[in-house]
């Protein structure tokens, strides 16, 4: 099953899982949800840390999710791991930036 979406002029090819006819055209929509979460919180955290004048040279955000076995296959657990790189970055500033982002 293949679906094409368009967001602000960007084309997104989406695909289904194997049991409903995966054709290899793109990622599954539920995986994009995790990607969007990582992107949103990552941009928040970097913005907040810059406002706090932290010398951040990099940030990576890893997101993993577990879904229900039965339909509806909602996410039952989502874990987010932040890795911040930089010079003299205050761990409390990082914790506060993450807290502000996720609430």
Which DSSP string corresponds to 41-85?
HHHHHHHHHHHTT-EEEEEEEEEEEEE-SSSS--EEEEEEEEEEE
Q: Which whole number is the average pLDDT over 66-80? A: 96
Q: Is the pLDDT of residue 3 over 90?
A: no
How confident is the model at residue 1, as a pLDDT?
A: 81
Look up the pTM and report it. 0.86
Q: Is the pLDDT of residue 17 over 90?
A: no
How confident is the model at residue 23, as a pLDDT?
A: 73
Q: How far apart are CA 52 and CA 89, in angstroms?
A: 10
> How many helices (DSSP H) and strands (DSSP E) are in the chain?
2, 4
The two tokens of residue 50 are 């810059």
Q: Is the pLDDT of residue 49 over 70?
A: yes
Domain boundaries 28-102, CATH class: alpha beta
Per-domain residue ranges of the chain: 28-102
């Amino acid at each position: 099953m293949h679906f094409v979406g368009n967001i602000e002029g960007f084309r997104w090819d989406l695909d289904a899982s194997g049991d409903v006819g995966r054709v290899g055209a793109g990622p599954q929509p539920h995986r994009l949800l995790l990607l969007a979460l990582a992107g949103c919180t990552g941009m928040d955290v970097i913005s907040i840390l810059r406002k706090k004048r932290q010398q951040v040279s990099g940030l990576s955000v890893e997101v993993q999710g577990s879904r229900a076995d039965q339909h509806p296959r909602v996410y039952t657990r989502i874990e987010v791991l932040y890795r911040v790189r930089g010079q003299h970055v205050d761990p409390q500033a990082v914790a506060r930036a993450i807290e502000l982002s996720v609430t």
